[in-house]
C-alpha cells in the first residue's frame, strides 16, 4: 500500500510500506524514488504510472512510524479543508477523535492544533475565492451560499442598490413565530466592501438568550 503525502518543506513524498521516499528522477512514464534518508540509506523503489512502487534496493533502518502518522494526519486534514466548510478547530477535533477510536496509542504523537494552525489556515485561504474590490464584484455562488446544514443561506441578493440578506427558511419561520425581536446595526466591524452590517435576533427559551436569524 502506498500514498502521496508532503514533506516538512511541502514537497511530494511517497509513503510505501511505512517508508518515506522522495522523487529521485522521472523518466518517461516511470518515477524513481529514493529513501528520504538517502544520505545514510540506499533504499530505492521504482514506479510506473498509477501502479504501486516496486522495491529495488532495501533499507537499512526501521520505518519512521511517528513521522508517517503525522504526515497522514496533515493530509487528511487538508483534504477535508478543501472539501468542507467545517470550522478548523471542529475539523481538527473530529480527525483526532477518529484516530483515538481506531488507535488511541498513536494520538499522543500527533501535533496539537496550535502547531498546525498556520498550515491549516494557509490551506483554507488557498481555496477561498479572491476578495472582491467593490460591492459590484460580490458574487456568492456554489458551496459559499450554503449553510452547514446544506441549506441555501441567501434570502435576498439585490443588485441595485447592492445588498445581501442571509438566513434560511427555518430562520424565517423562527422570526415569524417570535414575539420579541432584537435589531442591531454596525458600521465599524463590517467587512469591506460592504458599508453596514445589520442583524436580526430572536429570543430563544431553549438557549435562554437571543439567537441570530438574519
- In this predicted model, what pLDDT tens digit does every residue of 152-169 receive, in sequence order? 999 999 888 888 999 998
Peptide linkage before 193 cis (omega within 30 of 0): yes
The pTM score is: 0.59
Burial bucket for residue 97 (CB in 10 Å: 0-12, 13-18, 19+): exposed
| Contact status, residue 194 vs residue 182, Cβ threshold 8 Å | no
What percentage of the chain exceeds 70 in pLDDT?
Answer: 98
What is the pLDDT, as a whole number, of residue 94?
A: 92
Low-confidence ranges of the chain (pLDDT < 70): 1, 8-10
Interval 172-207: pLDDT, tens: 888 888 888 999 988 888 888 888 899 999 987 777
Distances (CA, A) of 114 to 1, 78, 92, 94: 31, 15, 11, 16
What is the pLDDT, as a whole number, of residue 92?
A: 92
What is the pLDDT, as a whole number, of residue 1?
A: 63
The dihedral built from the CA positions of residue 64, 68, 70 and 71, taken in this order, carries a sign that is positive
What is the pLDDT, as a whole number, of residue 200?
A: 92
H or E element, residue 148: none
Provide the 3-class DSSP secondary structure of residue 37. Answer: coil
Amino acid at each position: 500500500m502506498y500514498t502521496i503525502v508532503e514533506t516538512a518543506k511541502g514537497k511530494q513524498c511517497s509513503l510505501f510500506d511505512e517508508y518515506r521516499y522522495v522523487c529521485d528522477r522521472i523518466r518517461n512514464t516511470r518515477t524513481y524514488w529514493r529513501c528520504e534518508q538517502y544520505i545514510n540509506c540506499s533504499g530505492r523503489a521504482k514506479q510506473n504510472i498509477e501502479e504501486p512502487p516496486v522495491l529495488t534496493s532495501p533499507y537499512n533502518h526501521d520505518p519512521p512510524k511517528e513521522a508517517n502518522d503525522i504526515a497522514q494526519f496533515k493530509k487528511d486534514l487538508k483534504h477535508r479543508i478543501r472539501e468542507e466548510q467545517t470550522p478548523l478547530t471542529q475539523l481538527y477535533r473530529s480527525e483526532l477523535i477518529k484516530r483515538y477510536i481506531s488507535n488511541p496509542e498513536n494520538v499522543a504523537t500527533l501535533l496539537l492544533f496550535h502547531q498546525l494552525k498556520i498550515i491549516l489556515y494557509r490551506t483554507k485561504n488557498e481555496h477561498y475565492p479572491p476578495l472582491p474590490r467593490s460591492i459590484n464584484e460580490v458574487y456568492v455562488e456554489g458551496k459559499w451560499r450554503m449553510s452547514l446544514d446544506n441549506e441555501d443561506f441567501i434570502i435576498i441578493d439585490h443588485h441595485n442598490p447592492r445588498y445581501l440578506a442571509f438566513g434560511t427558511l427555518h430562520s424565517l419561520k423562527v422570526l415569524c413565530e417570535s414575539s420579541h425581536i432584537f435589531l442591531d446595526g454596525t458600521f465599524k466591524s463590517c467587512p469591506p466592501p460592504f458599508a453596514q452590517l445589520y442583524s436580526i435576533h430572536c429570543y430563544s427559551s431553549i438557549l435562554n438568550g437571543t439567537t441570530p436569524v438574519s
